[in-house]
């Protein structure tokens, strides 16, 4: 009798799939939209989930999307198929994931599910970084590129999905936090039944990851655990903070465009002409200086920073550090030499 009453109670909500022998309710879905989310909000959630699956190749959303679609269709709120009746989201994603769903890598749905489960359970795992096809040296020395790690989070950055993880180093409580593309990683197996002793240890790794994402402006976090940990210490502590200074001057046009990107780098580490920096002398072709205080590894080695900085071409003049200024000049000279030697 209890089961019979529950079926009659839940049936009108449209949450139970139709089963042969169960009476069909004409009030299917009448309660949708009167609980946590309205019918319009539920349709917008569905549209965003579908965009995440289609544009970003986020396979983890597939079961949730299919379940939500089924229930919204049975409630009469969503038309079946992909015709004109389909709702289009008010906001859409312009980016598209270029991650290839390579079998055997974390880009495949099966392995993605395994790594998500490891993140949820705070489990240590064995991963393998697929080698570059031209990297013969590593294969010759017998390095199969496997390593132990604590998976922390899956991140979408620019055009691809990345796994952020903390390396598991013997004898150390904290490991180096890194990111690698999911289509370059293989999930080998769990490292026995080894898990974090507490949520606090996992949360500490996540907090360090969020701090690194905030101050670096990209996904390259250096190669030193000590320097990563130093970034977690408040200013004024007796630690060697790994900061570096990037200074460049801009033309008026480029300066206006850069000011429209206030959150590309930490606002508290950014100084602009007219705010805390004095403008360059009148007559200077690049009147407006900008200073960024970033981790030294970002300035010295981060490809994302160089791609953003060099895209302005002659619209900026790098002044510090001199090594980055020399690289900018070298690339410009290479382009000039290329077009200077080619036929018109």
Question: Burial, 211: exposed, middle or buried (Cβ in 10 Å; 0-12, 13-18, 19+)?
Answer: middle
Confidence grade of residue 263 (pLDDT, cut at 50, 70, 90): confident
Highest mean pLDDT among 209-218, 261-270, 334-343: 209-218
Residue written as token pair 């038309």: 79
The pLDDT of residue 114: 92
What is residue 206's predicted lDDT score, i.e. its pLDDT? 93
| d(C-alpha 151, C-alpha 240), whole Å | 28
Q: What is the tens place of the pLDDT at every residue in 90-149?
A: 777 777 777 777 888 998 888 988 999 999 999 999 999 986 554 555 444 445 688 999
Continuous segment of H or E residues that includes residue 323: helix 322-341
First to last CA, the chain: 88
Which two tokens mark 343? 């036929």
- Average pLDDT on 6-24 reads 59
Cβ neighbours around 86 below 10 Å, total: 14
**Averaged over 296-314, what is the pLDDT?**
94
pLDDT for residue 260 is more than 60 = yes
Count CB-CB contacts under 10 A for residue 195: 16
Cα separation values, 6 from 11, 26, 34, 153, 253, Å: 8, 17, 20, 39, 67
User: pLDDT tens digits, residue range 190-246?
Assistant: 888 888 877 888 999 999 999 999 999 899 999 999 999 998 887 555 456 789 999
User: For residues 161 and 13, which has the higher predicted lDDT (pLDDT)?
Assistant: 161
Mean pLDDT throughout 285-299?
95
What's residue 97's pLDDT?
78
How does the average pLDDT of the chain come out, rounded?
A: 83
Asked whether residue 26 carries a pLDDT value surpassing 50, the answer given is no
pLDDT at 31 over 80: no
Closest C-alpha to 250, from 325, 317, 324, 320 = 317
pTM assigned to the model = 0.78
Residues 6+ apart with CB under 8 A from 154: 60, 112, 115, 116, 119, 161, 162, 163, 164, 182
**What is the dihedral angle through the alpha carbons of 99, 103, 107, 108, rounded to the nearest 10 degrees?**
130
144 SS3 class = coil
User: What's the mean pLDDT in 19-46?
Assistant: 66
């Amino acid at each position: 009798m209890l089961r019979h009453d529950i079926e009659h109670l839940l049936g009108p909500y449209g949450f139970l799939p139709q089963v042969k022998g169960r009476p069909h309710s004409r009030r299917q879905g009448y309660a949708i939209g009167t609980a946590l989310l309205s019918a319009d909000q539920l349709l917008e959630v569905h549209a965003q989930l579908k965009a995440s699956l289609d544009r970003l190749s986020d396979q983890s959303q597939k079961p949730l999307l299919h379940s939500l679609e089924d229930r919204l269709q049975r409630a009469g709120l969503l038309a079946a198929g992909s015709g004109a009746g389909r709702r289009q989201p008010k906001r859409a994603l312009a980016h598209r994931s270029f991650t290839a769903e390579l079998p055997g890598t974390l880009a495949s749905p099966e392995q993605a599910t395994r790594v998500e489960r490891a993140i949820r359970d705070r489990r240590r795992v064995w991963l393998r970084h697929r080698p570059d096809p031209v990297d013969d040296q590593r294969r010759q020395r017998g390095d199969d590129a496997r390593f132990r790690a604590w998976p922390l989070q899956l991140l979408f950055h620019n055009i691809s999905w990345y796994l952020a993880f903390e390396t598991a180093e013997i004898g150390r409580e904290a490991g180096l936090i890194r990111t690698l593309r999911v289509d370059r990683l293989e999930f080998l197996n769990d490292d026995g039944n080894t898990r974090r002793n507490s949520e606090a240890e996992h949360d500490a790794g996540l907090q360090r990851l969020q701090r690194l994402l905030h101050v670096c402006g990209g996904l390259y976090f250096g190669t030193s655990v000590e320097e990563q940990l130093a970034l977690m210490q408040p200013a004024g502590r007796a630690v060697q903070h790994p900061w570096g200074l990037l200074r460049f001057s801009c033309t008026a046009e480029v300066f206006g465009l850069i000011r429209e990107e206030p959150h590309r780098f930490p606002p508290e580490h950014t100084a602009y002409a007219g705010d805390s920096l004095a403008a360059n002398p009148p007559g200077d072709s690049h009147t407006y200086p900008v200073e960024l205080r970033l981790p030294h590894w970002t300035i010295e080695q981060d490809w994302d920073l160089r791609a953003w900085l060099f895209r302005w071409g002659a619209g900026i003049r790098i002044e510090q550090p001199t090594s980055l200024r020399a690289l900018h000049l070298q690339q410009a000279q290479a382009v000039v030499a290329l077009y200077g030697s080619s036929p018109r």
